Amino acid sequence: MPETTDTEDPPPPNPPEPTGLPALPRGLVPIVVTTVLVVSGLLLLALLWWLDTGEHLDPRDHATARLDAVKIALSVAAGGGALFALWLGVRRQRTSEHDLRLRDRAQAHTEAVAAQNQLHQERVAAATERDAEARRVTELYSKSIEQLGSAQAPVRLGGLYALERLAQDNPGQRQTIANVFCAYLRMPFDLPNDPPEDATEQQVGDGHNEQLEQDDAHRDRVQEREVRLTAQRILTSHLYPGTGEKPPETFWPDLHLDLTGATLINFSLGGCHLGSARFERTRFHGFAVFERAHFHRIAVFGEARFHGFAHFSRAHFHHSGLFDRAWFHGVAAFDTAQFDGRARFCWAQFHDVATFAQTRFDGKVPVEWAEFDAAQFHANVKFEVWQFTPTPITLSGAPIWIRLDIPAFDRTLPTGCVVRPVDQKPYGVAEGRWGHLVHEDTGPAATPDPDQGETG
C-alpha cells in the first residue's frame, strides 16, 4: 500500500443518495375518484331503498327524506374527495421538502468538493513553494561553498557574506552554516611572517625568481588572514544578543561552536551567548576575549594555546568549563568568572600572571569539583574566591606547582593554603625553584628569597 504524503488529501464525501418518496401510480387518481363515486352511489341507493321500503315515514316527508339522502351521498363523495385532495397536498409538501433537502445536500456536497479541491491546490502550491525554496537554498549554499574553495581571496570573502545572508534569511540553516564557518577556521593555517625584502632588478633579470615566489606566498597568507578575520567577525557578531531586553534580529541563539584545532587571531566572544563550545587544541594568537560570555552548555579548552592575553573576566559557565593541559603564555584573567558546573584546570600551565580574584565556583556542584591538579603557575597567581571554606579547590590530587623564585608582591593564595617548597620541578621544566600548594596544617610555608618579595 503506498504511503500518503502531506500533499495527498482524503477522497471527497460521497454525493447524497436519492432516497425520496416513491412516485404515484399513473391510474391512482381515476381509481380514487371512481371509488369515491361508487361508494357514494351505493350509499345513495341504500338510503333510497331504505326510505322506499320503510313504513315509518309519513308520505308527506318522503320527498324531503329522499332529498336528504341525496345530500348525504353527495357529502360523502365530497368528503372523500376532500380527504384525497388533502392527502395529495400533504404528499406534495413532503415531496417538496424532500427535494429541498436533496438540493441542500447536493449544494453542501458541491461546496465540500470545491473546498477539498481548493485545500489540495493550496497544499500543492505550498509544497511547490517549499521545494522551490529548498532548491534555491541548496543552489546558494552550493555556490557559496564553491566560492570558499576559490584560490582568490575576494571570491572567498564573497562566499562568506553569501552564507551569512543565507543563514540570516533561513533560521533553520544557521547551525549548518555556523558549522561551515567553524570548519573553514579549522583548516590548517600558518600566520604570515614579516614581509620579505624586495628583490633587486639584477636578481630578477638574472632569473632568480625565488624572491618573487616568497612575495606571492606572503601575500596569499596575508589575504587568507583577512578572510579568516572576516569569518571570525561574522560568526561572533551573530552570537551577541545586544544590551536591550529583546535581542536583535541578527542574533542567532543557541549555536554550538566546534573550533577544535583552529587557528584564531584576536578572537573575541565578549558578551556573546552560545550553547556548547569546543576549543580543544585551538591556537589563540593575539588576544582572546571571553569577557561576559555565557556558555550555556559545556565549554572545552583542553590543550588550547593562548599566546596572548586570555580574558575570561565575568564569563559565566552554566555547565562545565574544562581547561585541562591548556597553556597560557600571556596574562590569564578569570576575575569574577562564575562556574555553575565543573571547573577543571588539570595540568594547565600559566606562564604569566594568573588572576582568579573573586572567581565563583559556587554554582550547582560540590566544592571539590574545582580542580587544579598538577597545574603550573610560572608567575604570580591571585586567588580570592567567594563563598568557600576553607578552600575553593581540591588539593587531594596531583600537586599544584607554584614557582617561588619570582617576585611575589601580588600573590594571593586560597584561604587556609600556603606554598611548601620542594626539591623537585614540574615535569618538563628545567629551571626555577618550585613549591606545592598545600593546606596550612600540612607543612611549613615557603621562605621567599630576600630579593623576591613576600609570599602571600
Each residue's pLDDT tens digit, 338-361: 998 889 999 999 999 999 988 888
Nearest-angstrom CA–CA distance, 338 and 131: 46
- Listed residues 143, 174, 206: the one ending a domain: 143
Q: How far apart are CA 434 and CA 296, in angstroms?
A: 37
Pick the last residue of a domain from 143, 172, 192: 143
User: So what's the pLDDT on residue 365?
Assistant: 46
Taking only the tens place, the pLDDT of each residue in 81-117 is: 788 788 878 878 888 888 888 888 888 888 899 888 8
Residue among 360, 273, 346, 345 at smallest CA distance from 310: 345
- Residue 454, pLDDT score: 37
Residue 56 pLDDT more than 80? no
Under the banding of pLDDT at 50, 70 and 90, the label for residue 19 is: low
| Same domain, yes or no: 260 and 117 | no
What does the alpha-carbon distance between residue 320 and residue 341 come to, in Å, rounded to a whole number? Answer: 4
366 pLDDT above the threshold of 50: no
**Structural domains in the chain (count):** 2
Question: Cα angle at 356 between 353 and 361, to 5 degrees?
Answer: 155
Q: Other C-beta atoms within 10 Å of 411: how many?
A: 22
Domain-located, residue 3: no
295 part of a folded domain: yes
CA distance 303 to 319: 19
43 pLDDT band, cuts 50/70/90, is: confident
Decide if 428 is inside a domain.
yes
261 and 139 in one domain?
A: no
Structural domain boundaries enclosing 333: 256-456
Average pLDDT of 261-275?
A: 96
pLDDT of residue 16: 54
The string of pLDDT tens digits covering residues 151-208 is: 999 999 999 999 999 999 999 999 999 999 999 999 999 998 876 665 555 555 555 5
Band of the pLDDT at 388, cuts 50, 70, 90? very low
Which of these three, 120, 143, 166, is where a domain ends?
Answer: 143
